């Protein structure tokens, strides 16, 4: 209960530091739904574009890999249920609802040069296709007007990205399709195709419409992503009313290199916006996510009016936000950063909210519309690759759909996540975030691994990043008394004054002299040594202690996952948790390895692991000495519903009597202290796989952190919480 209360209150300082005034309502996650529950036999699933029935009780999403649309019952939004799946003759690209009917754009193209598709009419109650209307090209986005009488379809006719490096033109050109609806039936005879050629400065003879939205005047805004252009069309007449370039941005203070380092000092000049999703805010203004394609991507969202005036652009702030939250995807630094892709606009009460989906950061940033510069409210964790979103204001709900499915690699599946707007002291996310440096740039961080507490100051911790920041190995100073916890300083680990290479820091402990001992998980095939490192308070490596030959002779990939120190002076011994069995370990046991600092002697004891489920493995993630006990984090490698073991155990210090390496080792006994799975599900998400850090502060309070894998094949979500006093 202590953990859940802390998790529910962790973010008050964020709003105080960004908006200046604490808001009264926040979107907090109440549930998540793996869409594979609708198609359990499918190897890959996706929830890409999502909508909701008029009564707000059923979600409908497009699932391109599985070739159909899925249904989710949210009568009780805290307990979403699988409600069916309809296979379609082609690839669904998007869905909208009008009363008892669903309209789905379906791509049936045989090739890039022969695009085709149709608009399917589906009965919501029977979940069956009633009719279809051929569109003469490949549909992408579909939108309906307020009274359901008009549907607009972006006919993208997308290019082959492998042909001529994806350069345009690649005919046939795309277009906008308009069709009327009466009494829930599409009148295919009213289908008209709006020619969009000759408008854009970029490849004007080959427009590729990406997204459409209709305002209350039946004006359709169309984003031409590859053409970096917008078109406003009168939906009643089909005439082009206006068109204009999306323009470019001079970006400053961004990370531009994919190099295992977070460095927000770079720039990009005249970066084309290349907009993706677009939504009207009102009848005059629309908001757009500038995802980018092959020539651009400005890492921002913008607000335009229909006359073509750019009223607001977020610049580099989305990248900075993600970096402070630990969600910045360094692997996309040389491309488009966080890649804003999805947009939704909804009015809850008197407030109009703008929701911006950050595809690569797996966040949704939420702002209030002010008529001028939007006011940042919060950012919510949204699974891997948020694409679509739908608001249900009458139920105070916001739904996000996350298209990426990593199930084939044993990682997270595609999820739909449900958030509720309610009064609260603070948003429940983030649990931990970083401050800005002296120049106003984010102290970026990812992949928190080992933790250790300051010996004297309650609530002060130190954490380390693992190999995902291989060019910037860092020790983070954490103020755990703040809500959310704050990373207040970042100390780069150096060798001869330069960032140390070939480190995979998985453990950290105090050295008793103002510095630290670090445990680096080696990997010989990548020339990363299994070693201990002593660093001073400035992060400079003062001593390196490689593992002894008799230990390395039994090496496999999974090495040091934590380090702690027991004793002082000549009696000080470092104890290292080895993650998994090495070659000479009996099945189901791993080593706790000892290193006496004064004598240089090595030894070990055996630690008994819990039995893994079929297809899983179990190993250690952390070791922390406190009083007469050593605390050890033990976990399986499973995620979501498959996760069975994420737990804290204790071992008596008295049993840590090391045996000789290569000889018969004593086996310690362990006691379960805490099952972490209830903590990991307390915020409505799926169970994260990597509980990797644990520390006990000077007051005896225990803190836990998960490793977000550097937002690489991960949602980026980091949980940090207290388990109370031990």
**pLDDT at position 547:** 96
576 has a pLDDT exceeding 90:
yes
**CA atoms in the 13 A half-sphere facing the CB of 281:** 24
Q: Which two tokens stand for residue 484?
A: 């959310």
**CA atoms in the 13 A half-sphere facing the CB of 70:** 33
**3-class SS at 15?**
helix
Q: How much is the average pLDDT of 665-691?
A: 97
- Whether the Cβ atoms of residue 460 and residue 477 lie closer than 8 Å to each other: yes
15 has a pLDDT exceeding 50:
no
The pTM of this model reads 0.95
Residue 156: which region, alpha, beta or left (left: phi > 0; alpha: psi -120 to 50)? alpha
DSSP assignments along 571-635, one per residue: G-EEEEEE-S--TTSPTTEEEEEEEETTT--EEEEEEEPPPPPTT--EEEEEEEEETTEEEEEEE
Q: Could you give the CA distance from residue 236 to residue 504 in angstroms, rounded to a whole number? A: 61
57 has a pLDDT exceeding 60:
yes
**pLDDT at position 21:** 44
pLDDT tens digits, 630-646:
999 999 999 999 999 99
Of the pLDDT bands very low, low, confident and very high (cuts 50, 70, 90), residue 684 is very high
pLDDT tens digits, 77-120:
999 999 999 999 999 999 999 999 999 999 999 999 999 999 99
Of the pLDDT bands very low, low, confident and very high (cuts 50, 70, 90), residue 371 is very high
Q: How much is the average pLDDT of 597-623?
A: 97
**pLDDT at position 530:** 94
190 has a pLDDT exceeding 80:
yes
**pLDDT at position 524:** 82
9 has a pLDDT exceeding 80:
no
Q: Smallest Cα–Cα separation from 354: which of 382, 321, 379, 323? A: 379
Q: Which two tokens stand for residue 723?
A: 């388990």
Q: Could you give the CA distance from residue 235 to residue 194 in angstroms, rounded to a whole number? A: 10
Q: Could you give the CA distance from residue 555 to residue 542 in angstroms, rounded to a whole number? A: 26
pLDDT averaged over every residue in the chain: 95
- 497 contact partners, CB below 8 Å, separation of at least 6: 540
Q: Could you give the CA distance from residue 131 to residue 121 in angstroms, rounded to a whole number? A: 5
Of the pLDDT bands very low, low, confident and very high (cuts 50, 70, 90), residue 4 is very low
337 has a pLDDT exceeding 70:
yes
33 has a pLDDT exceeding 80:
yes
Q: Where do the structural domains in the chain lie, given as residue ranges?
A: 506-707
Q: Smallest Cα–Cα separation from 267: which of 337, 210, 207? A: 337
């Amino acid at each position: 209960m202590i953990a859940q209360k802390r998790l529910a209150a962790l973010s008050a300082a964020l709003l105080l530091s960004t908006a200046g005034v604490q808001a009264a309502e926040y979107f907090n996650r109440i549930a998540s739904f793996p869409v594979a529950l609708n198609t359990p036999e499918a190897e890959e699933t996706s929830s890409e574009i999502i909508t909701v029935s008029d009564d707000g009780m059923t979600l409908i999403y497009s699932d391109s890999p599985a070739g159909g649309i899925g249904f989710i019952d949210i009568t009780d939004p805290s307990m979403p249920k699988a409600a069916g799946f309809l296979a379609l003759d082609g690839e669904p690209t998007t869905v909208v609802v009008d009363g008892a009917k669903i309209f789905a754009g379906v791509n049936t193209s045989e090739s890039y040069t022969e695009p085709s598709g149709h608009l399917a009419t589906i009965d919501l109650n029977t979940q069956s296709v009633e009719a279809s209307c051929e569109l003469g090209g490949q549909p992408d986005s579909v939108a309906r007007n307020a009274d359901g009488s008009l549907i607009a379809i972006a006919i993208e006719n997308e290019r082959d990205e492998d042909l001529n490096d994806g350069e345009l033109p690649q005919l046939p050109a795309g277009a906008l399709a308009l069709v009327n609806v009466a009494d829930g039936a599409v009148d295919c005879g009213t289908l008209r195709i709006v020619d969009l050629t000759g408008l854009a400065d970029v490849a004007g003879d080959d427009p590729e419409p990406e997204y459409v939205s209709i305002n209350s005047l039946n004006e359709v805004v169309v984003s031409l992503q590859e053409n970096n252009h917008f078109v406003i069309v009168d939906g009643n007449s089909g005439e082009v009313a206006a068109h204009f370039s999306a323009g470019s941005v001079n970006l400053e203070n961004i990370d531009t290199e994919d190099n295992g380092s977070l460095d927000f000092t770079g720039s990009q000049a005249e970066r084309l916006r290349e907009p993706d999703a677009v939504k009207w805010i009102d009848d005059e203004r629309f908001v757009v996510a500038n995802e980018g394609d092959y020539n651009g991507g400005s890492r921002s969202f913008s607000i335009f009016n229909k006359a073509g005036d750019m009223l607001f652009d977020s610049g580099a702030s989305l990248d900075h936000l993600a970096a402070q939250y630990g969600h910045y995807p360094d692997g996309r630094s040389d491309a488009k950063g966080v890649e804003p892709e999805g947009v939704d606009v909804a009015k809850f009460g008197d407030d109009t909210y703008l929701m911006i989906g950050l595809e690569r950061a797996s966040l949704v940033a939420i702002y209030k519309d002010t008529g001028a510069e939007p006011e940042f409210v919060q950012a919510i964790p949204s699974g891997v690759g948020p694409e679509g979103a739908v608001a249900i204001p009458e139920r105070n709900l916001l739904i996000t759909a996350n298209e990426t499915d990593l199930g084939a690699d044993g990682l997270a599946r595609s999820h739909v996540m449900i958030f509720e707007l309610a009064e609260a002291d603070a948003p429940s996310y983030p649990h931990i975030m970083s401050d800005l440096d002296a120049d106003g740039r984010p102290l970026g961080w990812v992949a928190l691994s080992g933790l250790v507490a300051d010996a004297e100051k309650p609530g002060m911790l130190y954490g380390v990043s693992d190999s995902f920041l291989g060019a910037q190995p860092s020790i983070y100073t954490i103020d755990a008394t703040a809500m959310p916890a704050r990373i207040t300083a970042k100390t780069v680990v150096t060798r001869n004054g330069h960032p140390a290479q070939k480190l995979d820091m998985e453990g950290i402990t105090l050295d008793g002299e103002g510095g630290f001992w670090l445990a680096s998980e080696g990997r010989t095939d990548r020339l990363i040594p299994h070693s201990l490192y002593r660093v001073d308070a400035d992060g400079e490596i003062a001593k390196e202690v490689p593992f002894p030959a008799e230990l390395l002779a039994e090496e496999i990939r999974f090495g040091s996952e934590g380090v702690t120190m027991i004793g002082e002076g000549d009696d000080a011994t470092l104890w290292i948790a080895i993650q998994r069995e090495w070659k000479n370990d009996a099945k189901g046991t791993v080593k706790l390895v000892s290193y006496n600092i004064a004598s240089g002697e090595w030894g070990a004891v055996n630690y008994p692991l819990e039995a893994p489920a079929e297809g899983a493995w179990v190993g250690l993630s952390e070791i922390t000495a406190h009083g007469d006990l050593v605390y050890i984090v033990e976990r399986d490698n499973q995620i979501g519903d498959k996760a069975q073991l994420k737990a804290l155990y204790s071992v008596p210090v008295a049993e840590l009597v090391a045996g000789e390496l290569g000889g018969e080792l004593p086996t310690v006994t362990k006691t379960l202290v805490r099952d972490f799975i209830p903590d990991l599900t307390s915020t409505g998400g799926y169970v994260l796989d990597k509980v990797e850090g644990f520390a006990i502060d000077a007051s005896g309070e225990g803190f836990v952190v998960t490793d977000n894998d550097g937002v690489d094949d991960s949602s980026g979500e980091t949980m940090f919480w207290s388990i109370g006093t031990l």
